[in-house]
Structure 1
Amino acid sequence: MDYLTIALQLIVGLSILNVWLVNANKSTQWRGGSATNIKEEFEAYGLPGWSCYLIGFLKVALALALIAAIWFPKLLQPAAIGLGFLLTGSILMHFKINDPIKKSFPAFLFLCMCGYLAFLSQYF
């Protein structure tokens, strides 16, 4: 496994853990609508309250799997693809509520990294 792949796994995995476990109740410039925390963000998207917990669980589990894939490479592709689907959903939610494009940028950037990890990292 090369250093670029490991670096991207750590960047994506730790960033998602940071969003969902450390900064979940903090306001950031990337939150959807005028939300000041993750629960408000899901409300802004018109999603039911339980979906925040489900998506949070999935993102945290897949982020941990992405990091664990450094030692267990078979986890890499499923974790990256799973996160890719969830990140695509994040981007679509921003579009749904007509957020400025810049609010979708982190999800788009991480989606690109997950695409590399899932489909290209094995070739480089």
Structure 2
Amino acid sequence: MEYVIIALKIIVAVSLLNVWLVQRNKKTKWRGGDADTLVEEFKVYGLPVQVCYIVGILKVSLSLLLIASIWVSGIESYAALGLAALLTGSVVMHLKIGDPLYKSFPAALFLTLCLFIYLY
């Protein structure tokens, strides 16, 4: 089970780092509303741009913490639960603006994986 958890940590962290560092200015089918970038997506949600930057810093930091937790014990819970809280917010925002359910699928999947990591 230990190797499964390590794999899940890497999958979640690398996926979130990809979204926030590589894909942030690219249009994807997962973006909320008709947004082309992450900043536009937060505007679609009715949130100020500062919230986008705060969420981005938190998601990147917690993703790096999740990777570090492979070697450093005691930080896994903080990283997994912190990301789960932020991902819950992502799902809620998609539902709030009436996005099709498939747009919230990645956030819901990573939320589930974070909870799994936390529980095991």
TM-score when scaled to structure 1? 0.95
Structure 1 unaligned segments of length 5 or more: list them: none
Q: Which residue of 2 aligns with 1:105?
A: 105
Q: Give 1:61's aligned amino acid.
A: S
- What is the Cα deviation at residue 25 of structure 1? 0.2
Q: Give 2:118's aligned amino acid.
A: A
- After the TM superposition, which parts of structure 1 deviate over 2 Å for at least 4 consecutive aligned residues? none
TM-score when scaled to structure 2? 0.98
1:45-88 CA-to-partner distances (Å, cap 9, x unmatched) read 00011001000000000000000000012111110000000000
SS at 1:41 equivalent: helix
Q: Which residue of 1 aligns with 2:87?
A: 87
CA distance in 2, matches of 1:82, 1:53: 16
Task: Give the alignment's Cα RMSD to 1 decimal.
Answer: 0.8
SS at 1:46 equivalent: coil
SS at 2:75 equivalent: helix
Structure 2 unaligned segments of length 5 or more: list them: none
Q: What is the number of equivalent residue pairs in this alignment?
A: 120
CA distance in 1, matches of 2:73, 2:14: 17
